[in-house]
Amino acid sequence: MAVVRKTELPLPLLHRGKVREMYEVDSGTLLMVASDRISAFDCVLPQPIPRKGTVLTQISRHWFGETADIVHGHCLAAEPDRIVRLHSELEASREAWAGRGMLVERSEPFPVECVVRGYLAGSGWKEYREHGTLAGEPLPEGLREADELPEPRFTPATKAESGHDENISFARMRELLGLNTAEILREFSLAVYRFARAAARERGILIADTKFEFGTSLRSGEILLIDEVLTPDSSRFWPAETWEPGRTQPSLDKQPVRDYLEGLVGDGGWDRNPPAPDLPDDVVRATTERYLDAYRRLTGRELPDYDS
Ligand SMILES: Nc1ncnc2c1ncn2[C@@H]1O[C@H](COP(=O)(O)OP(=O)(O)OP(=O)(O)O)[C@@H](O)[C@H]1O
Ligand SMILES: [Mg+2]
């Protein structure tokens, strides 16, 4: 199975992120392609993780289908035969994107990341520990790291040009987008999160938090759920069976990489600054297995082999 560090499709490249490439197919349509790159501790690692890109794209596709009743998504197709039926000119480059590529409706993204948190982790836990609040709003006293919140909270952020996103208050989001739009995006975000959280929990996965993006369709003007949805890269997924508040939880997907890198840091073999060190083969293999397991658990199916 081909492992893909970077795609070079014969289409205009609009954006290359840490993990994904965005290509223009026509004025209203994009091809979003997830590579097998993996990042940890804010560094992209030298070794790609076979099948990771396909897992990401196909998990997103699963959720776009499941949540279409709540909000329309930008996904037009993620199944290679369907993509080629819609855009036959993509047949020639099929091998490079099959499985990892999603054809999407182009939109004008809103400049706010719509984060929903159901559990205390990451920057949410840090804010609570320091100030007793989450996105500036008080929370009950005595919560531990990884505790479930009484109710999911919407904690928006703005995209920083470099480095970490900046958390903002809902009041600030209203100033940026207008009252109506801000409230609509908050309601969509909470509704999709609640739905997915319940579905994932039945399959042994806790969705601690996640980030959504929305945009205005260039074709219809409708608000769409865009980008990737409820993937391991946009969310914190925890295995339900090892959940234990009071400590940092193991990650469903990246834990082998984290453990290896933490070990190196502990032994003085890496200082957490780029460039990141090489990953041994067994760590790469174990990580692929985790991604495949995430796909299997969330969808109840094996990941199809799109190469054949
Ligand atoms: N349907 C869409 N129409 C237009 N732009 C979109 C659509 N879906 C997603 N995008 C945009 O495509 C970009 C994808 O970027 P990507 O997430 O790969 O990298 P990044 O956000 O720059 O950095 P990082 O790798 O840290 O996430 C985002 O800016 C997102 O808003
Ligand atoms: Mg992004």
Q: Give the number of the ligand closest to the Cα of residue 22.
A: 1
Q: Ligand 1, closest atom to CA 106?
A: 3
- Residue of 16, 19, 20, 112 to test ligand 1 pocket, by largest number of atoms within 8 Å of CB: 20
CB proximity list for 227: less than 8 A, separation 6 or greater: 32, 74, 109, 212, 213, 234
Ligand 1 first shell, C-beta below 6 A: 15, 17-20, 22, 30, 74, 104-107, 109, 213, 215, 226-227
Residue pLDDT, tens place only, 209-243: 999 999 999 999 999 999 999 999 999 999 999 99
C-alpha of residue 228 to centroid of ligand 2, in Å: 8
Residue pLDDT, tens place only, 43-68: 999 999 999 999 999 999 999 999 99
C-alpha of residue 267 to centroid of ligand 2, in Å: 32
Nearest alpha carbon, ligand 1 atom 11: 227
C-alpha of residue 213 to centroid of ligand 1, in Å: 9
Domain residue ranges of the chain, discontinuous segments joined by +? 110-242
Q: For the domain covering 110-242, report its CATH number.
A: 3.30.470.20
Q: Give the number of the ligand closest to the Cα of residue 163.
A: 1
pTM for this entry: 0.96
Nearest alpha carbon, ligand 1 atom 10: 227
Residue pLDDT, tens place only, 90-119: 999 999 999 999 999 999 999 999 999 999
E-strand ranges in the chain read: 13-16, 20-26, 29-34, 39-40, 43-44, 75-77, 101-105, 107-109, 114-119, 133-134, 137-138, 148-154, 157-158, 166-167, 205-217, 223-226, 235-239
Question: Is 160's pLDDT higher than 80?
Answer: no
pLDDT of residue 29: 97
What type of residue sits at position 98? A
C-alpha of residue 227 to centroid of ligand 1, in Å: 6
Say if residues 257 and 287 touch (Cβ distance below 8 Å): yes
What distance lies between CA 105 and its chain's CA centroid?
A: 18
